[in-house]
Amino acid sequence: MKMNQKVFAAAYSLSLAGSLMLSALPAQADTMAYWRFEDGSATAQMAHVSGANGVWSADVADSSGKGNALSVWSGDAWAGYGYRADVASSAIPQTGAANTLSVKNTGGYPGMWNESLATWSPSAFTIEAAFKPENGGYRTIVGRDSKGAGTQPGADGNAAALYFQMQPNNRVAITFQDVMGYQYTAVSAEGVFQGFDWSSDPDGLTAKWYAMAATSDGSMLSLYLSDIAAGAGYQLVAQTDLTLQGSANTALTTGVGSGSDWAAGNWSVGRGMYNGGHADRAYGFIDEVRLSDTALTPDQFLFVVPEPSTIALGILGGAILLFRRRAR
């Protein structure tokens, strides 16, 4: 039976309005890598699939579809990770994807790395991750290997290309060097998160999950933090104007240098680098690490619940398609 013409006309008008509203929404960024750690089972050790210790292999799937997998440094407890059922939320608010596993270091020298993104030098970017940390000093959640890329006044020549990290006194920070040798840092106030002490609480039962995001649009470096349990969403905790140093190009450097167990441009998860050596281990839980090639807006971050209007538009679109099929 054909649909009433008046109902169809009303539905079609709504369709046009919905299309206009949808076109006004920000486009989803191109995700360069998305490591979700959903391929194991709770309490299982992460496996180094092939090759000797330190030889890259595709051990952690890249959910972006671009094939930029992570390798675990070791499949044993010395430098490895284990899967855990302790997660920030049972689903990712932005995408609705189920979230069943995180990873936690099982030894004293944790670290994972990627080599396929070594030449990526974005003029704008976003880094995101969820974490439930041990207390400590400098703890790098996401880093980029390098030594010597910082050549301009004020830059640390021993620093790596990028640090997305926790710092002493429970600050969070994003630091990176650009292709011209300038270094930029946005660091929060002290005490913006709480961790746990492994000696008294090895499973982190007293700690909280947080989601953090750092964005650079080429002019401004911004850092956001969300206390997931508090439910207040992402808060801007630090910001730095990149234009003040006068660089002609604030794109992220690919880094320089190499060592016996690293090469410039490699990305790391769970550790950083300083003076050409692996350092700043991020002991504790890590989950949902995503790299994007644009500066996302806070409403696009992984642990943000989409606006009801966006959801309603999706439902509206589906309803209109159904009406049009029935009217034929």
**pLDDT for the residue numbered 308:** 64
Q: CA–CA separation, 269 vs 48, rounded Å?
A: 15
Domain boundaries, the chain: 1-26+309-328, 27-296
Residue 318 pLDDT > 60: no
**pLDDT for the residue numbered 319:** 42
**pLDDT for the residue numbered 156:** 98
Given a contact cutoff of 8 angstroms between Cβ atoms, the answer to whether 280 and 165 are in contact is yes
User: What is the average pLDDT across 268-287?
Assistant: 98
**pLDDT for the residue numbered 74:** 77
Bigger pLDDT: 51 vs 304: 304
Average pLDDT, the chain: 88
CATH class of the domain comprising 27-296: mainly beta
The amino acid occupying position 227 is D
Residue 164 pLDDT > 60: yes
User: What percentage of the chain reaches a pLDDT higher than 90?
Assistant: 80
- Best CA proximity match to 196, nearest among 106, 282, 136: 136
Residue 17 pLDDT > 70: no
User: What percentage of the chain reaches a pLDDT higher than 70?
Assistant: 85
**pLDDT for the residue numbered 25:** 36
**pLDDT for the residue numbered 116:** 98
pLDDT in tens, 120-160: 999 999 999 999 999 999 999 999 999 999 999 999 999 99
**What are 147's two structure tokens?**
């030594």
| Residue 29 pLDDT grade (very low, low, confident, very high; cuts 50, 70, 90) | low
| Residue 278 pLDDT grade (very low, low, confident, very high; cuts 50, 70, 90) | very high
Alpha-carbon distances, residue 255 vs 13, 155, 266 (angstroms): 53, 13, 9
**pLDDT for the residue numbered 324:** 42
**pLDDT for the residue numbered 311:** 44
Q: CA–CA separation, 268 vs 8, rounded Å?
A: 54
**Distant-in-sequence, close-in-space partners of 303: CB < 8 Å, separation ≥ 6:** 88, 89, 92, 93, 94, 130, 211, 226, 228, 234, 288
Span of 22-31, 135-144, 296-305 with lowest mean pLDDT: 22-31
Residue 104 pLDDT > 80: yes
pLDDT in tens, 224-244: 999 999 999 999 999 999 999
